[in-house]
A and B are shown apart, each in its own frame.
Chain A
Amino acid sequence: MKLLIVDDSSVVRRAIERDLESGEITEVDQAATGEDAVRLYGAKLHDVVTLDITMPGMDGLTCLDKIIEINPEARVLIISALRDKATAIDAIKRGASGFLCKPINPPELREAFKLLIED
C-alpha cells in the first residue's frame, strides 16, 4: 500500500508517518506543497493520501480538487487545524473520504486510516 502525506510542516509529516507505521504500508511519500502533492499523486496514484489544508502556494482544498480530477476514487483523509464544520463539509463534498482536526490524536488517526483502507 502506498501512502502520500501532504503537510507543510515536516514535524507533522513525520508524526503522521510514525503513527501510521504498519506492515500494510509498503511505500511512503511526503510532500510539503500542494503542487508537489499533485505531481507525486499523478505519478504514483497512492492508495491513501493525508492532506493538510493551510499550506503556502496551492492550498489543500485546491489540491484535493486536482487529485480527484486525476482519480475520482482517490482516498483522501484531510488532517487540518481548521476546526469549523463548514470547511469539513466542503472538503467531503469535494471528494475527501474523511476529515480529522489537529492536534493529531494518534488512535483516532489510526482508526480513520483503518476505515479508509477497509472501504
Chain B
Amino acid sequence: MNDRDIQVFIACVQRYFESLKRDVTVVIEPPFIKDEEKPFLEYTGIIGISGKAHGAVCFTANGVMLESILSFLKEAPIDRNLICDLVGEIANTLSGNAREEFGRDFLISVPIVSTGKNVGFKFPPDCRNYVIPIIWQGEKAYLLVCLS
C-alpha cells in the first residue's frame, strides 16, 4: 500500500457521499496508520480482498450517520436490518469502485456485517491499517484499508 493507493480509496469515498446529496459536503480528514486497535464504531461492513491484494476493506460508522443516509435514500421506517444492509452495501461500493484503478484481479467478497467494537474477522497479521476519517453531516465514520 502506498499514498497513491490510499488516494484511490479517498476518491471512492468522495464519489459515494457526493452521490447522496451534492450540497452536503463530505470532509475527508488526513489518513493515518493505526496498527494496534482498529477504530470500529457501531456498525462495520467488511469486504475480504483476495487476488491482486490480500486483506480487507472496512467501512465503519455509528447508527446516526447510517440512519441519515437511509433518510436521504427515502427509506422509512428504518430498522437495524436496514442499517446492517446499508453498511455492507457502502463497504461493497467503495471496494468495488477501487477496481477502476486496481483492475479485475482485485477480488472482493460479499459484505460481512459486524456490530460493536469486537469485529469477528481474521485480519492478516502482516498488514498495516490505514484509516481514512470521514465526516458527513457532523458525524464521523472510517474507511479502514488493511491490505498487503
Give residues in A with beta carbon < 8 Å to B. Answer: 8-12, 14-15, 18, 54-56, 80-84, 86-87, 101-105
- Please, how many angstroms separate the alpha-carbon atoms of A24 and B39 in the complex? 47
User: Which of A18, A87, A103, A104 contacts B99 (CB under 8 A)?
Assistant: A87
**A-B contacts, CB under 8 A, total:** 67
Interface of B, secondary structure class, is helix
- Please, how many angstroms separate the alpha-carbon atoms of A103 and B93 in the complex? 7
Q: Which residues of B contact A12 (CB under 8 A)?
A: 89
For chain B, residues 91 to 114, give those with C-beta under 8 angstroms from any C-beta of chain A.
92-100, 102-104, 106, 108-110
Residues A81 and B110 in contact in the complex (CB < 8 Å), given A11-B82, A86-B103, A103-B16: no
Q: Which residues of B contact A10 (CB under 8 A)?
A: 81-82, 85
Which of B15, B92, B102 has the most chain A CB within a 10 Å cutoff? Answer: B92
Stretch of B28-36, B67-75, B117-125 that contacts chain A: B67-75
Q: Which residues of A contact B99 (CB under 8 A)?
A: 82-84, 87
Number of residues on chain B facing chain A (CB within 8 A): 30
Which of B15, B96, B103 has the most chain A CB within a 10 Å cutoff? Answer: B96
B100 to chain A, nearest CB (A): 4
- Please, how many angstroms separate the alpha-carbon atoms of A56 and B47 in the complex? 13
* B75–A14 touching, CB < 8 Å: yes
Q: Other than the known A15-B74, A54-B96, what 5 A-B pairs have Cβ atoms closer than 8 Å?
A: A11-B89, A14-B75, A82-B104, A82-B108, A83-B99
